[in-house]
Structure 1
Amino acid sequence: MQCRVAFSCFLVALAVVAVKPALAQTAITIAYDTQAFQSRKLQAGTIGASVSYEPYKPAQDSPEAANNLRYQLSYNGQVKVSAAVSTLSSGEVALKDLDGDRTAEVIVSSFSGGAHCCTNLKIYMWRGDQFIETDTGFLDGIGGSFQDIDHDGKQEFLTVDNAFLYAFSSYAGSVPPDRIYALRQGRLQDVTRNHPKDRGLNNLNDRSALGAWH
């Protein structure tokens, strides 16, 4: 009798495991050896993305016009944005709540290639009944990173002031100051002065950290 009960419990446990849904993927990263793919899905709550990619072909495409990273963004299953960016050997599409409102933003990272260059991050935020887009502009190397530096549930964007590169010295001799941005009202706003104790949290002034990009 005990064996029957134990076996029945084992079958129930297997059934529970079998029907448990897999965790949805929230990021796709592109590397130099990533092969072409079509319509890979990302999902975080009500926000979804469908991503397709083809490696850049120097003989056929110019870096600016390749548009080889394509994506559709959806809200509650309804496609709201169809767009594409050009990226060379590196990139990412990620869903992450940056502003603490429990709705994920979509971050699309692309890399231009070239010495001492350049990453751009497009950020899509759901507001009202549409996605609003902003971007970091093209930034040196890996660009920067999102971190919740004051532990308030909202992510700040940490980077360096690219205007100082080559301004007073060679690239290798340049030490640009930190810049900290916060996502507010659909835009990245400079809040560096609000964080005097949080300078130096990124390692973008360490040229060895950028070696893979140069």
Structure 2
Amino acid sequence: MFTAPPPRSWLLLTLALLPLTLPAARAQDEPRAPVKTSTQTCGAYTLRLAENGFDDPEDRVSLVRGGATYASVSDTAVSVDWCRDVTGDGVPEVLLAGFSGGAHCCFTHTLYSLTTPPRKLLTYFSAHSDTLTPRQLDGKGPLELLAADWRFAYAYGLSFAESIPLPVVLSYSGGQYVDNSRAFPGVLRGLMTKTVTDKTGGGEVLADYATLLAIGKPGEAQAFVQKLPARFRTWLGNYGPDIRRAMNDYGLSDWPLRAGVPFSAPRRGLGGSFSGPGVREYLGLVGGGAQATLRLYRAQGGQIVAGPPLMTVPARQVEPDYLDTAWVPLATVRRAGGRDDVLVRDERSGGMRYVAYRVSPTRLTELTDDPLAVTAGLLGDLNTLAKHVGASYTQTTPPRTAAQKAEVQRRIDVAAARAKPWLATLDSPELKNLPLERLGNFTFDSLDLTVDRADQAQVALPVTLSFADDKTNSEYIDGDRYTLTVNLQRGAQGWAVQSWTLSPRKGELYED
């Protein structure tokens, strides 16, 4: 039996209160503030802190023994959160925190076992939460660490004050702490709000809905939405597909670690039932040097195992904690048989296209004569055009030369010519003369195959749509939400779009 943690309010951890403005920069001849040093002991090690407020250099906390420094953490501010044996091996662990110095963000936590030499057990980006809390949740063995997931901070019209983190349970496995949240459904459910009224915060409602999705209760999640006060019901109805997509990898992103990948390797991916209905799997890209490798990670006999490489792609940006590739899995799409296909954004050739794939444990197969593949062509052409239009804003520093302006316009013209044939099947009277040359924002996060038959299909997705004008001064253009519905049929020449519509999507928590 696990020991129930305190209610969800526990997750609203103490946030550092910082001044809203920083002191003016010192003149070059003004002396720096003195660095404050202090020490404390944990196990056989001395923890040495060098702190000087928010001045250069960064603060630092180091693990020192016998005059040698074995490890250190540096940031705008640092702290020692706790020293205790959480793994149960008789050797204490120490949790070090780094704080970047914002109004309430961001914290990064590093856990060391104080062996000789120390072993790093965890690096966790805690965002707005200032600590990790050890608790015994399964009644045996090492303690679990309770953390928080802030993926819905500021989401869907919420202020930060309303935002609620999702709980995260980190378990000790294979010599390190990994996200094992989905193994503790009782803990997650125990943190839900007990009663929702019209005065309940939107963040609490969102977190409860997401929690039901996390513990594998989509039917209960939908029933929960239907019983909500009207403003919450319409709001979650508006953003439901995006929320479900955002929860796709919850509790699964550490599966590569559990399969033996070094926890220092950057990674990203999607959860789904790729090889068959009802199977929980993780399609993960893991960085290594200047490339990233895609594998399917599966549960087998209580362990997580990695399949063979499905694809290797170049990494555009090599950083310890961030993986940037030109080939990125974007969304899973549930098919009529219960398995998931995956939609990928592919920029390896310099341009951009969306590509649909079928995934098996040993193979990645591009879909061609398929309704999802045809829809991907429509989405790719509109998204590419919008990015070129958005990038054409005039107020740049330094100003664009005449040759640069001509090249921007050439790219818009090429993209508009490629997208124009799709207008022949657009069936939205108010947008029939859609001004392609001004399409400045066309983005989406999720899509559903609402009809998936042998000769007929329908794809529906929320999109954000907006147009540029002479006053546009940024490539980031706010837009309105629409439901894009694509109707497809299979004929003698294969699958083709019969019509597509754009209809305004309603349901904001706070109307402008």
Give, in whole Å, the separation in 2 of the partners of 1:36 and 1:93.
Answer: 21
**Contact 1:181 1:192 (C-alpha < 8 Å) held by counterparts:** yes
Give, in whole Å, the separation in 2 of the partners of 1:201 and 1:40.
Answer: 37
SS in 1 for 2:151: helix
Deviates more, 1:155-164 or 1:169-178: 169-178
> In the alignment, which residue of structure 1 is the partner of 2:48?
51
Q: How does 1:132-151 map to 2 (within 5 A)?
A: 132-133=119-120, 134-151=122-139
**Contact 2:95 2:109 (C-alpha < 8 Å) held by counterparts:** yes
Shift in alpha-carbon separation, 1:201–1:78, aligned structure 2, 3 A: farther
Shift in alpha-carbon separation, 1:201–1:48, aligned structure 2, 3 A: farther
1:177 correspondence with 2:204: no
> In the alignment, which residue of structure 2 is the partner of 1:103?
91
* Count of residue pairs the alignment pairs up: 161
Give, in whole Å, the separation in 2 of the partners of 1:114 and 1:137.
Answer: 15
SS in 2 for 1:198: helix
Q: How does 1:1-214 map to 2 (within 5 A)?
A: 37-38=36-37, 40-44=39-43, 47-58=44-55, 61=56, 66-74=57-65, 79=68, 81-88=70-77, 91-92=79-80, 94-126=82-114, 129-133=116-120, 134-170=122-158, 171-199=160-188, 200=190
SS in 2 for 1:168: helix
SS in 2 for 1:130: coil
The structure number with the bigger radius of gyration is 2
1:35-58 CA-to-partner distances (Å, cap 9, x unmatched) read 9643523032xx312313222244
SS in 1 for 2:155: coil
Q: Percent identity?
A: 22
**Contact 2:95 2:112 (C-alpha < 8 Å) held by counterparts:** yes
**Contact 2:80 2:94 (C-alpha < 8 Å) held by counterparts:** no
Instruction: Read off the aligned partner of 1:54 and give its amino acid letter.
Output: E
Instruction: Read off the aligned partner of 2:39 and give its amino acid letter.
Output: R
Give, in whole Å, the separation in 2 of the partners of 1:196 and 1:43.
Answer: 34
Unmatched 5+ stretches in structure 1: 1-30, 207-214
Give, in whole Å, the separation in 1 of the partners of 2:165 and 2:42.
Answer: 37
SS in 2 for 1:174: coil
1:107-138 CA-to-partner distances (Å, cap 9, x unmatched) read 111222212312111111256x5322231124
Give, in whole Å, the separation in 2 of the partners of 1:185 and 1:73.
Answer: 26
TM-score (norm 2): 0.28
Higher helix proportion (structure 1 or 2): 2
Unmatched 5+ stretches in structure 2: 1-16, 19-33, 193-202, 205-512
Give, in whole Å, the separation in 1 of the partners of 2:182 and 2:162.
Answer: 25
**Contact 1:80 1:130 (C-alpha < 8 Å) held by counterparts:** no
> In the alignment, which residue of structure 1 is the partner of 2:420?
none
User: Once superposed, what is the RMSD of the aligned Cα atoms?
Assistant: 3.3
Instruction: Read off the aligned partner of 1:69 and give its amino acid letter.
Output: R
Give, in whole Å, the separation in 2 of the partners of 1:169 and 1:157.
Answer: 30
Instruction: Read off the aligned partner of 1:164 and give its amino acid letter.
Output: F
SS in 2 for 1:197: helix
1:8-34 CA-to-partner distances (Å, cap 9, x unmatched) read xxxxxxxxxxxxxxxxxxxxxxx99xx
SS in 2 for 1:182: strand
